[in-house]
A = this chain, B = another copy of it.
Amino acid sequence: MSAQERSADRLARAWLSACVEPGLPAVGALLDRVGPGEAVRAIAAGRAVPGVHGAHDDSPHATARAVLAQAEQAGLRLVCPGEHAWPAGLGGLADAGVLHGRGGPPYGLWVRGDHDLTDLVGQAVAVVGARSSTAYGDDVAGDIAAGLCDAGVSVVSGAAYGIDAAAHRGALAVGGTTIAVLACGADVVYPRGHDGLLARVGQQGLVMSEAPPGAHPTKVRFLARNRLIAALTQAVVVVEASWRSGSLNTLKWAGQLGRVGLGVPGPVTSGSSTGVHLAIRERRADLVTNAAEVREAIAEIGSERIKGSPTWGLGAVRDTDGLEPLQLDVLESLPAADDDALTSDEVAGRCGRDPIAVRRALVSLAQGGLVGCADGRWRVRRRRAPLPGEAGARTLL
């Protein structure tokens, strides 16, 4: 892609972020088919796209420039797919389905802070949970976050009251790196009481959002945001969640994405732990009690990172040279078709290996692009859709 093309791409994505609700599947499909420039032309011209309303714009170019100028004033930069700073983990969202009408990779990300986003999410864990947390939950969330940071793992959370804040604070307290992923603009202070906290996270880590500068949070944006928290991390740890906690939605995204789901138990007499206990009972989360156990759960993902760079397509060679024996066993046990996709427990049964080790192997294979996970079921990855700019990409609408 030329510098000019890249600049046009960024303008188009800035416009999409500003004028279209985040995570609309129809917009994601359009982007996949025609690329951002064509997508913007179609939507701005008033072409009907499911979920898009009132995005008619006679001068999308000017709108996009204004958004980028507003972002620059607010200290935000735009990060786009294909750029160095774009975290590879977000790619998993392309296969991870839709929850509450939202899904797919973000059109772009607005980031505040000095760090490089990809550096920070090389080893990253989400620590999320109830807004109405207990002192016990806050203590444990803070301890786990601090323990992860001590081991060089970034802590990702949502900057909400309760567990999220405790996780960020635990990371900040030990000088660790922490990322706040917001449902509002990355320059907006929400909740208002977290003015100081968000400022510190922006200094010591990163504050980011797929919503444009100045955007206010809405319920559906919170739900859409949760998929980013899961996609940016290797594991989601839920510390306290009632039956209806939004953090269970983040855990669900972890499952859809093939990330490791973890839960911290509490007293069965505490309503703040019922959602976590249910998730553990239903095996949507494994029980963890401290940072060391969280690190253990993602250890093999880091150490077994796939060497080589698998290439796909007609006549392409599948690169499995760098794989561990367990990964090879797991790969051989997987079906290729969506209909036959297996749960990780089923894969474990097929290859006769420990279910927890098998799940870790699946996650590591997914990070290497060799396997896909949708709806919690695994299969060998299909040939991926071509990226914008690649052969076959810019067919017309």
B-contact 0/1 string along A261-302, CB 8 Å cutoff: 000111111000110010011010011111001000000000
What are the residues of chain B within 8 A of A347 when measuring CB–CB? 349
Among residues of B, the one whose C-beta sits closest to the C-beta of A351 is B349
B266 pairs with A289, CB closer than 8 A: no
B355 pairs with A345, CB closer than 8 A: yes
Assembly CA distance A355 to B264 (angstroms) = 22
B-contact 0/1 string along A219-263, CB 8 Å cutoff: 000000000000000000000000000000000000000000000
B287 pairs with A265, CB closer than 8 A: yes
A268 pairs with B265, CB closer than 8 A: yes
A291 to chain B, nearest CB (A): 11
* Interface: A32 (CB within 8 A): no
The B-contacting residues of A in range 325-358, CB under 8 angstroms, are 342, 345-350, 352, 355-356
* Interface: A140 (CB within 8 A): yes
Q: Which residues does A use to contact B, with CB under 8 Å?
A: 136, 139-140, 264-269, 273-274, 277, 280-281, 283, 286-290, 293, 342, 345-350, 352, 355-356
What are the residues of chain B within 8 A of A355 when measuring CB–CB? 283, 345
A266 pairs with B264, CB closer than 8 A: no
Assembly CA distance A346 to B352 (angstroms) = 6
What are the residues of chain B within 8 A of A140 when measuring CB–CB? 268-269
A287 pairs with B277, CB closer than 8 A: yes
Assembly CA distance A273 to B348 (angstroms) = 28
A281 pairs with B274, CB closer than 8 A: no
A-B contact pairs, 6 of them (CB 8 A): A266-B266, A277-B287, A280-B287, A342-B352, A345-B348, A349-B350
Assembly CA distance A268 to B345 (angstroms) = 26
Assembly CA distance A30 to B273 (angstroms) = 52
B266 pairs with A267, CB closer than 8 A: yes
B283 pairs with A268, CB closer than 8 A: no
Assembly CA distance A139 to B268 (angstroms) = 11
What are the residues of chain B within 8 A of A274 when measuring CB–CB? 289
A167 to chain B, nearest CB (A): 15
Interface centre among A269, A286, A293 (most CB of B within 10 A): A269
A47 to chain B, nearest CB (A): 43
Assembly CA distance A289 to B293 (angstroms) = 22
